[in-house]
Structure 1
Amino acid sequence: MDTLDDLTALPDGAVTSPAARRNADAILGALCIHLPARGSLLEVASGSGEHATAFAAALPGLEWTPSDPSENARASIAAWSRHAALANLRPALALDAADPATWPARGYDALFCANMIHISPWSAAQGLMKMAEGVLRNPGGLLVLYGPYKEAETPLAPSNATFDAGLKARNAAWGLRDRADVEALARSHGLAATRRVEMPANNLMLLFRRV
């Protein structure tokens, strides 16, 4: 799985991420406000699976489907899922946002994607928006993005500038995206930006609705 976190492997095959533990409560608090109480949700780029199990446990009315293109990530998700034993947590999909052949055929009421589009080529963001256009089955369907962004009207925090430089040093196709570019891409796929939520550690939660 693509991450800059220090990951720790647990005896049962799960992987734990310090960043996932740190930001889970803040993300969940925002999700509880904006997600539907009932329905189905697809999580894109679930990583270790810690978020998926924590959020599915806290939102029992949502059928939560995690996904990740990494076999190692899906093995960790499966281990966390076995431990949690949640009726509303589905098996992880081998979904790659940049590869339409892996996208699900069924529809969902909401999509959630945390910390992907800056640790992947722009083609992954393009695929995410195109996929959301197809799988959000009803007008008003919700796409939630979480992570750091550049904003023309807001000076970039020094920590985010350092993070951005580190990403680009690791892979020239990675890096923090301009929020305006992400919102323009969403509009081109019938998704309207409806809310910007400031989150801890200079992150943002961006909400889009299918029009």
Structure 2
Amino acid sequence: MDKPFSQACENNKLPILNVLEAFFSDVTDVLEVGSGTGQHSVHFATHLAHLQWHCSDREVNHPGILQWHQEAALTNLHAPLTLDLNDPWPVETVNAIFTANTMHIISWPLVERFFQGVAKHLAPKGKLCIYGPFKYQGKYTSASNAEFDAFLKQQDAHSAIRDFEAICQLAEQAGLTFVEDVQMPANNQLLLFKRQ
């Protein structure tokens, strides 16, 4: 199979890294939920050498992720774990959780399941980063995001750009405190949370 490639990952990996360098400076291990192509994991593990980066995704995406990993050959980058949000997570406790471009793809019940997993597996003082587009008080941040949301719903009625306030409420219920909402390129955000 051809190595998978996401232009969006290429475009956003450096702005995300600029935030993670500070936010994950005291973190030792990260679980990436929904690693997709694997591009983010290689970039972040390369530049955050103090971290053990653990990918996860549905098994169907593992061959593509492994192609990126084999090229990079990084000792702090681990083979993808099988994680389906309908099932128990394949980890006990992690210092940090990162996910990009997942909340608007998966159904709302799976968004809730994601936060149930965060509540169960994120360590005390652990950190959570969520990257993607969000609405604020029910309103889109741009016309292009409104068009993107319509496209998502055409592809899958369960997909949608989520409300920032609803995500924060789930995070609070999971025992997390909101830290910062960092504006990213292309009308995306990076939401940072911390467990007390």
What TM-score results when the alignment is normalised by the length of structure 1?
0.88
Conserved 8 A contact 2:98-2:129: yes
Match of 1:145 in 2: 130
Q: Secondary structure at the match of 1:105?
A: coil
1:100 aligns with 2:87: yes
What letter matches 2:38 in structure 1? Answer: G
1:177-202: CA deviations, max 9, x gaps?
A: 00000101111111111111011111
Counterpart pick for 1:59 among 15, 35, 48: 48
Hey, which bits of structure 1, 4+ residues long, moved more than 2 A? 153-156
What TM-score results when the alignment is normalised by the length of structure 2?
0.95
Taking a change above 3 Å as real, the CA distance of residues 152 and 124 of structure 1, as seen in their structure-2 partners, is same
Alignment of 1:1-211 (within 5 A): 10=2, 14-71=3-60, 73-97=61-85, 99-101=86-88, 103-138=89-124, 140-152=125-137, 156-211=141-196
Q: Secondary structure at the match of 2:123?
A: coil
Identity of aligned residues (%): 36
The answer to which structure has the higher strand fraction is 2
Structure 2, unpaired ranges of 5+: none
Q: Secondary structure at the match of 1:160?
A: helix
Equivalent pairs counted in the alignment come to 196
Q: Secondary structure at the match of 1:175?
A: coil
1:156-193: CA deviations, max 9, x gaps?
A: 30000000010011111111000000101111111111
